[in-house]
Each structure stands twice: as C-alpha cells, then as structure tokens.
Amino acid sequence: MANLNNPGSSASRRQRPRWRSIRYVGGSYRIPLPPGPPPEPGKAQREEEARARARGEAQVARLHLVGLFKLGVIVMGAALAAVLVLAVLAVMGRH
C-alpha cells in the first residue's frame, strides 16, 4: 500500500495536478486540468500518431541499413589490407 504522507510515493505523484498554460499577449498563466481520465484522442490525432510512428520505424530501418553498409565497408577495407600485406610478404619472400 502506498504511503500518502510520503511526498515521494507513487500514489502522491499520480494525484499531483497537471497544468495547462494559457498564453495571452501580456504573458501567460497556468490552470489545472480537470479531474478524471484524459480525453480520448480524436481520429486526426490518432492518424497523425500512426504516421509519426511509421516515419520513425522507416528511419530506424534506414539507419540500420546505413550501419550495415558502413560495417561492410570496414570489413572489406580490412580484408583488402590483409591481402595487400600478404602480397607484399610473398613478393619480399621470393627475392
């Protein structure tokens, strides 16, 4: 059971009011949000969140491919360096 007297407990954190800022020309002031669950997001907001999620997943996939390409370049460079070293050693050993 959460201790309601302890300000660091999870129950007291849930009960703290959330604030909404209302701005006007001279400044702004804060008012608490109404009690109860938050309103359900509208259709446009749900669609925008879905588009943002899809953009994020596509970006992750692109970054993954870029990382794999860079890793391939590093591995192929190391292989080329190893082949050159072996070629130099073979030429030096024949003389």
Band the pLDDT of 72: cuts 50, 70, 90. very high
If one compares 82 and 40, the residue with the highest pLDDT of the two is: 82
pLDDT for the residue numbered 67: 94
Query: What pLDDT score was predicted for residue 57?
Result: 96
Q: Is residue 71 part of a domain?
A: yes
The H-assigned helical ranges of 5-42 are 10-15
Decide if 52 is inside a domain: yes
Report the number of distinct structural domains present in the chain. 1
Give the pLDDT of residue 50: 96
Note whether residue 61 is domain-resident: yes
Range of the domain at 58: 17-94
What 3-state class would DSSP assign to 5? coil
pLDDT for res 80: 97
Quote the pLDDT of residue 55: 96
5 within a domain of the structure (yes/no)? no
Torsion angle, CA of 66/68/71/77, rounded to 10 degrees? -90
Give the span between the Cα atoms of 77 and 69, in whole angstroms.
Answer: 12
In a domain, 7, yes or no: no
Which segment, 4-8, 34-38, 50-54, is predicted with the most confidence on average? 50-54
Q: Is the pLDDT of residue 7 over 80?
A: no
Q: Is the pTM of this model over 0.75?
A: no
63, part of any domain: yes
- Decide if 68 is inside a domain: yes
Position of tokens 């996939």? 61
25 in a domain, yes or no?
yes
- Mean pLDDT, residues 39-67: 94
